[in-house]
Amino acid sequence: MLRIPKKIIDEMISHAIDDLPNEACGQVNGKNNKPLTVNRVKNVAASPYRYSMDPLTMLKLEQAREKTGEDLFAIYHSHVASEAYPSPTDIRQAFFPPGQFDREPMFPECFYILVSLAQDRPEVRAFKIRQGGLVEEELISSADD
Amino acid sequence: MATIYIPTFFRQITKGNEYILVEGSNVLESLESLSYLYPEIRDLIFDSNKQVLRHVNIYINNHEIHELEGLDTLVNTGDQIAVIPALAGGAMTLSTEKNANQSALKPEEVMRYSRHIIMPQVGPQGQRKLRDAKVLVVGAGGLGGPVALYLALAGVGTIGITEFDVVDLSNLQRQILHQTRDIDKPKLKSAKETLGLYNPHVEIIEHPMPLTSDNAMDIIPNYDIVVNGADNFATRYLVNDACYLAGKTLVDGAILLFDGQLTVYKPGYCCYRCLYPDPPPPGMVPSCAEAGVLGAITGIIGSMQATEVFKQILNIGEPMVNRLLLVDALTMQFREMKLRRDPSCPLCGDNPTVKELIDYDAFCGSPPIEVPA
């Protein structure tokens, strides 16, 4: 079970809506397994079907985390017209080089959060992408601290 | 002399080091120095032609190298190079992008089909396959009724029905799509009304005519799967031949008295003609009207036919291909016979003689079907 404060979930949903019609993407920083901040990252693919995080922003976020001692808690992105479930492309790209399934994925401990806007009510689900496959984590929206 | 910043993912190779000092006058030389120190990193950065992999971004002092001189970009002491693997994904592959908006299930659909979707063999993707499927049901009578009903309830998106008869009082002992108030109404109209009340999301395509040699190849190729609910031999041979010639899977069922049969004919496997090369002499096998039929057996066999359709659409389980199920409701025994394609079959054998649809009434010695005016 994964508890994420409602304000963090709401921020990811807001980002997904703001970036319509394209997919939105970003990173959630955390510390001690607790999510802290949502960081929007530009989708340089600028597509309703694809995302590619701006590498320079990723670099800066990573270097900033090293200064503060935070870690990458989650990678999130939106699906504008399909379910909040990782697509084959999402899973492929979680490995490096993409599709290299015989190695550990790039971020085995990081959650992949999907925000779906396919239905009237946005849907948010969380997964871990592991070498052996996909594991869904039951996501609970918790009251803000 | 430059510093290369190593992102988290690559640090398993650099033994946890995040900054590596390297020699080199340009970016290429610097990355080669890094690969010399940590040989495993070479294949993660370069392809076999020494080009940087498409999924790796190289930055120098926060500028992407292709904005500069690429790998030839000069490096000065104190410069910082960063290797950043792409973080990407996408909702779907390009080939299905066009259908993106159509593919999402609406909340009402998710709720309506939740008992199906919750099963891992179905899931949302399976439910969309059902919605995208086109199934032709031959006849809206005893077998066609439960078949069409379960297909409609499950959200099979397009259901075609061929039927030309009108509802008769004697149908109502078994034909679940029709009710007492529907007597004398065309069965097709009654079927469409009933199915629409059960599930308004399903499109019912009406083919208000008997399936014949003249129209079968105009109708059948429009569907993915055909289900046989015909009550006469001429139509059975016609549907079998047309499905084989059109490359379609046929889910076949038959009922009489307390007995039922079920099988699936798929091109390349046993077909109806392999099993029965010739029709029985006219009048030898009585019809349901002549001999009678248990109403509930239509539900048993029809539900099984619908089940086989689901398995075909979802590509799950073991289809009734090359298998014939014999159901005896009196003993409630289910027996299975193994079937095989007959190499001498006139339709699907090695040297076929039936290459197009024929006159099936003549073939079966049966009078042509009378279409009510």
- Chain B contacts in chain A segment 52-81 (CB below 8 A): 52-53, 55-56, 58-59, 62-63, 66, 72, 75, 77, 79-81
- Structural domains of chain A, ranges and CATH numbers in brackets: 2-142 (3.40.140.10)
Is the domain spanning B133-364 CATH 3.40.50.720? The answer is yes
- pLDDT surpassing 90 at residue A82: no
Report domain extents, chain B: 2-85, 133-364
Which tokens belong to B142?
Answer: 């005893």
B91 or B33, which is more confident? B33
- Chain A contacts in chain B segment 32-71 (CB below 8 A): 44, 53, 55, 57, 59, 62, 64
- pLDDT surpassing 80 at residue B366: no
Q: Which residues of chain B make contact with A51, given a CB cutoff of 8 A?
A: 88-90
Q: What is the pLDDT of residues B24-55, one digit of tens each?
A: 899 999 999 998 889 888 888 888 888 888 88
Please count the residue pairs, one from chain A and one from chain B, whose beta carbons lie less than 8 angstroms apart. 113
Identify which of B5, B8, B90 has the shortest CB distance to residue A50: B90
**Packing angle, helices B144-153 and B295-314, rounded to 10:** 40
- Bridge partners, A52 (sequence order): B88
Provide the pLDDT for residue B368.
Answer: 62
Q: What is the pLDDT of residues B218-247, one digit of tens each?
A: 999 999 999 999 888 999 999 999 999 999
Q: Do A88 and B93 touch (CB under 8 A)?
A: yes
Distance CA A57, CA B92 (A): 25
Examine the predicted complex and report whether its ipTM is higher than 0.85: no
**DSSP secondary structure string, B180-228?**
GGGTTSBHHHHHHHHHHHH-TTSEEEEE-S---TTTHHHHGGG-SEEEE
Options 3.40.50.150, 3.30.1330.90, 3.10.20.30, 3.50.50.60; CATH for B2-85 is: 3.10.20.30
- pLDDT surpassing 90 at residue B301: yes
Distance CA B216, CA B117 (A): 34
Q: What is the pLDDT of residues A12-47, one digit of tens each?
A: 999 999 998 889 999 999 998 899 999 999 999 888
> Contact, A143 vs A4, CB < 8 A?
no
Distance from CA of B249 to the nearest CA of A (A): 29
pLDDT band at residue B97 under the 50/70/90 scheme: very low
pLDDT band at residue B102 under the 50/70/90 scheme: low
Provide the pLDDT for residue B281.
Answer: 84
Using CA atoms, how far residue B89 sits from A23, B28, B174, B248, in Å, is: 10, 28, 53, 36
Provide the pLDDT for residue A81.
Answer: 83
Distance from CA of B103 to the nearest CA of A (A): 7
Closest chain B residue to A61, measured at CA: B7
What average pLDDT does range B10-20 have in this prediction? 87
pLDDT band at residue B98 under the 50/70/90 scheme: very low
Using CA atoms, how far residue B131 sits from B65, B91, B118, B142, B201, in Å, is: 48, 20, 16, 24, 9
- pLDDT surpassing 50 at residue B113: yes
Q: Which residues of chain B make contact with A73, given a CB cutoff of 8 A?
A: none
Side by side, the strands of the sheet bearing B19-22 are B19-22, B2-5, B80-85, B56-60, B63-64
- pLDDT surpassing 90 at residue A109: no
Lowest mean pLDDT among A93-102, B166-175, B190-199, B205-214: A93-102
